[in-house]
Structure 1
Amino acid sequence: MRIKGKAPMGGDSPMLDLGDLVVPRRVDITGEAQRAGEQDIRITAEFNEASGRYECRSLTVTAREGGEVTGEVLRAVPVATVMRDGVLSALQSITLLAAGPIPEDITEGGPTTRALEWVARLYRMALVLGEPPIPAVAAGLDLPKSTASRWITRARDRGFLTVQDRRGQRGRQRDDGESMD
C-alpha cells in the first residue's frame, strides 16, 4: 500500500510548537491500494495535546471498481500503520528533516549533550507517531533497550526531555491521592 500524509495549510490546521518539534494540528492521510479490487483509505488525524500523539478523527474506506467494503475488509484495515506512516510522511515534509539525518557517530562518545539531544528528539517523534519511545530510541541510535532507557533518563535529568509517555498511566494514583484519569 502506498501511504501519503499532508498537512492542510492555512487557518484550518495551525502548527503546534512542542518544544523540540513543530507539528501540524491536523494531517490528512491517504492510502492507495496497489492492486485492483482493493480499497482506498482516507484518514484525518489530529494531534491531541493531552495524549501527546496523533489520533484518528475520521476514517473512510472506499471500494475500488468491482470491489465491496465488508466487515471483513474493515477489520483488515491497518489503521495504526496507515496513521504512523502518513503522519511520518507529513512530518518529513514539514519539520522532521529540519534536524537532518542522525549522525553516524552520535553514540561513539557515550551520552554526550549532542547524543542526548537526539535521544529527546527520537523520544518525542515516537510519542507523536504513537510508538513506544524506548524501542524507538534504541533502534534510532542502534543501542540496547537498557542503554536507551538510561540515556532517556539522563536526557530528562539534563532538561532535554520534558515529555513522558502517558500511555499505561490510566487508573494510577497521583501523589495527592487523586486518580490520573
Structure 2
Amino acid sequence: MDGSVEIVPGVTIWRQATTRIRSYKGYDVDAQVSVSDSGRIEIDSLTVSRIPGGEPVTGEALRKVAIQSILRDAVKQGIQRSIGSEIPAGTQVSALGMLPTSEAQRLKQAGPTAETLTWVGRIYRISELIDNAPTKAVEETFNISRSTAGAWIGRARAAGHIPPVDAREDDNGQSN
C-alpha cells in the first residue's frame, strides 16, 4: 500500500494498493489499483496467471475478468481496513462493508435525518467512484424504494454530501 486518500468525508483508503485474487474463474489475478487525482478508482495494471494444472490464459479467459468486480473488491478491502475495522467480525454488513446491516435498518427507520443523509452521501459517492449504480446502492443498503432513494439522494445533495450534478466532470475533464 502506498499512502492514503480520503475518498469521501470520513472514509480514507490507500492511494495505491495491490489486490490479489486466487482461483478467480480458474486463474490467479493481481491488480495494481489506485485513486486518481480526480478521485476515480482505477486499475493501473492487471496480471492474469494460470494456476498450477489450470487452463492457459487465452483471449476468452481474459474476457471473463470482470474489472468492475476487481475494483469493488479492492475498494471493499480498503474500506474495511478504514472504517470497517471497527465492525466486529461476523457482523452482517452493507454498503461495501462500511455499515452493519442492523445500523442500515436503524437509519432507514429514522428516515432522512442528518446522520442518514451523511451515509446516503457516502454510499452514493463511493458507488460513483467504482462505477456502480449509486441510486441502486442506496436502495439496496437501506432496503427502500427507488423513489425514496431518489428523494434521500436529493436531500443528501442539498445538504452538501453529494456534489451538484452540474459540478461533476466527465472522463475528459469537461463539466457537464
Q: Which has the higher contact order (CA 8 A, sep 6+)?
A: 1
Partner of 1:14: 3
In structure 1, the gaps of 5 or more residues are 1-7, 172-178
Cα separation, 2, equivalents of 1:34 and 1:160: 36
Question: 1:149-160 residue pairs with structure 2 within 5 A?
Answer: 149-160=150-161
- Offset of residue 101 of structure 1: 2.1
Q: Are positions 1:63 and 2:50 aligned together?
A: yes
TM superposition shift of 1:79: 2.1
- Residue of structure 1 in register with 2:93 after alignment: none
User: How many percent identity over aligned positions?
Assistant: 28
Distance change >3 Å, CA 41–CA 157, structure 1 → 2: same
Q: Between Structure 1 and Structure 2, which shows a larger proportion of helix residues?
A: 2
Of 20, 40, 46 in structure 2, the residue corresponding to residue 30 of structure 1 is 20
Alignment of structure 1 residues 1-181 onto 2, 5 Å: 8=1, 13-18=2-7, 19-33=9-23, 38-50=26-38, 52-66=39-53, 67-97=55-85, 100-102=99-101, 103=103, 104-162=105-163, 166=168, 169=170, 180=175
**TM-score (structure 1 length as normaliser):** 0.75
3-state SS of 1:155 partner: helix
| TM-align CA RMSD | 2.8
Aligned partners of 1:47 and 1:53 also within 8 Å: yes
Distance 1:49 1:170, change over 3 A: closer
Secondary structure of 1:107 counterpart: helix
* TM-score relative to the length of structure 2: 0.77
Specify the structure having the higher radius of gyration (Cα).
1
> How far apart are residue 48 of structure 1 and its match?
1.8
SS at match of 1:85: helix
Shift of 1:143: 1.1
Aligned pairs, number:
160
C-alpha displacement of 1:25: 0.8
Provide the secondary structure at the position in 1 that maps to 2:152: helix
